[in-house]
Structure 1
Amino acid sequence: MSVVPGVARKAPPRRAPEGAGLSRDKIVAASMKLIDEQGLEAFSLRAVAKALGVYPTALYWHVPSRNELVVEIITDVLAEMMPPRELAWEPWLRELLQRYRSIIRRHPNVAPLIGVQLVSNASVDLTLLETTLEKLHEAGFEGERLVAAYNAVFGTLVGFVTQEFAMVLTDDVDSWTARMGDLVARIDPQTHPMLAAHKELMLNRSFILRWQNGAAAPLDAGFEFYCELLVAGLKGLAAAGGDGSTRQMLT
């Protein structure tokens, strides 16, 4: 083909690079949507890439691995977890527990990521840990007792909520529900009198005897009791003093 003198040829249009416009925030948002709507079983880098309309390799510029993406997801989920630092230790602790549960209630499928995978530790805000120690020191704990109280707080924080929002069945739900109903119906008041007397209160509203998690059947009263138990226990142990051993703290 001849070229007209003095007329420049137009360069062919350039294709946008794979993943153009992609960002860390878009990847995390797509991941959260996938986990919220389809559960953890559906979560993978390949699935996230498909949801974003790109190849999985495009994600690696922003999140180099699935573990890194998990850290980013949890960082976003827990971004507003810490209560105001000016609160005294008791209301601060209650607020911390309530905030965490409220967050997981909005994203129940994230609970197992936090509760059972150590990789989630990399997402924690160090200021939250520092403030927790400050509040427990304010309560009266020092040294090894301070560390023991700190572990008790985070064990409480994650433990109840992880179990409350445990993963639910996504298939054969009717059969599972019927099986649990049959289990409760077979409670014999002669051999299990306390269970028989309280089964109507406990059915699908207590650990073990349920077929839905906290997203559909929240355990509000149990969680409130759990929070008060922790606060009262810390208060009593702080007043009791001791050198840090478990035996001395409890006697």
Structure 2
Amino acid sequence: MAEQLDTPRRAPLSREKVLQAAVVLADRAGLEALSMRKLAQDLGVVPMALYKHVAHKEELLDGMVDVVVGEIDPPAGGTDWQSAVRQRILSARRALLRHPWAAQVIESRAAPTPAVLAYLDSTIGMFRRGGFSIDLTHHVMHAMGSRILGFSQELFADPPPTDPAVQAAMARELAGRFPYVAELAVAAAHVEDSVVGSGCDDQFEFEFALDLLLDGIAALHRQGWSSTPGG
């Protein structure tokens, strides 16, 4: 009687495994390549098997956001509120830089996912435990905006053309019509592959704005600021 060969059993599919594979796929090929069919191929299953764990692609995207947010370091203990908030936000930025598609997905969600809500709750808690009034905390969260989650929408986001002749022509036109914009563009430091514009240092600009906000927020906190006159 012929011996039966033992074949390795594939680990059972789980929601966590599906979400992790989706994150890996988006990291590798970009968000536009993500589909339930392609994800099923990567996992070696039929597409219908995925629907036992995620009802549809929107739920898949929500879960992927939660995976990324789960990579953010927990709040630092034994430090002042400003250092703790700064460390947490920079950890969030590192997580989003590891997954360049994540900011786009976070912005596209109709409502925050559970992990995002937990992160925001934790951040609000850092301000409240730091002695902030609920009034100031409310306005601080508005002022910080998406920077709380490690990314920001930049004013000068469109990359310039790479053709030197075209660049020179555009610079001349810009200088003639918008001299201060041209002056700023020429003065900016140049770093390749920046989303901020013609080569500004993304990380420097992010931390500069973050520290500017945190220093201003700290000053308001010291003053006992309130949005209500006499409050």
2:25 maps to 1:39: no
Whether the 8 Å contact between 2:26 and 2:33 is mirrored in structure 1 is: yes
Paired letter, 2:58: N
User: What is the CA distance between 1:147 and its match in structure 2?
Assistant: 2.3
Q: Which residue of 2 aligns with 1:28?
A: 19
2:60: which partner in 1?
A: 69
Q: Post-superposition shift, 1:200?
A: 4.1
Give the root-mean-square deviation of aligned CA atoms: 3.8
Task: Tell me, in whole angstroms, the C-alpha distance in 1 between the residues paired with 2:45 and 2:11.
Answer: 9
CA distance in structure 1 between the partners assigned to 2:96 and 2:210 by the alignment: 16
Task: Give the secondary structure class of the aligned counterpart of 1:148.
Answer: helix
- C-alpha displacement at 1:73, in angstroms? 1.3
Q: Distance in 2 between matches of 1:208 and 1:134?
A: 31
- CA drift of 1:22 comes to 1.7
Q: Name the residue aligned to 2:137.
A: 146
How far apart, in 2, do the equivalents of 1:190 and 1:93 lie? 43
Relative distance call for 1:20 and 1:97 in structure 2 (3 A) is closer
Partner of 1:53: 44
Deviation of 1:84 (Å)? 1.9
Q: Distance in 2 between matches of 1:236 and 1:59?
A: 51
Deviation at 1:62, TM superposition (A): 1.5
1:198-213 matches, cutoff 5 A: 198-202=184-188, 209-210=197-198
After superposition, the Cα gap between the structure-2 partners of 1:101 and 1:138, relative to the gap in structure 1 and judged at 3 Å, is: same
What is the CA–CA distance in structure 2 between the aligned matches of 1:123 and 1:183, rounded to whole Å?
48
Say yes or no: does 1:240 pair with 2:226. no
- Tell me the residue number matched to 2:80: 88
Structure 1 residues 238 and 196, CA gap change in structure 2 (3 angstroms): same
Q: Helix, strand or coil: the match of 1:108?
A: coil
Equivalent in the alignment of 1:110: 102
Task: State whether residues 202 and 209 of structure 1, in contact with CA within 8 Å, keep that contact through their aligned partners in structure 2.
Answer: no
Work out which of the two has the higher radius of gyration on C-alpha atoms and give 1 or 2. 1
Whichever residue aligns with residue 30 of structure 2, its letter is G
Shift of 1:133: 2.5
Q: What secondary structure does 1:118 align onto?
A: coil
Structure 1: state its 5+ residue gaps. 1-18, 170-174
Distance 2:20 2:121 in 1: 28
Residue 190 of structure 1, CA deviation: 4.7
**Which shows bigger deviation, 190-199 or 236-245?**
190-199
Does structure 2 retain, via aligned residues, the 8 Å contact 1:203–1:209? no
Change in CA separation of 1:63 and 1:218 when aligned onto 2, cut-off 3 Å = farther
**Deviation larger for 86-95 or 189-198:** 189-198
Is 1:225 the counterpart of 2:201? The answer is no
Look up the match of 1:100.
Answer: 92
Counterpart residue number, 2:172: 186
Corresponding residue pairs, total: 221
Q: Is the 8 A contact 1:104 1:161 kept in 2?
A: yes
The residue matched to 2:113 in structure 1 has which SS?
helix
Change (3 A) 1:154 1:163: closer
Letter in 1 for 2:84: W
User: Partner letter of residue 223 of structure 2?
Assistant: A
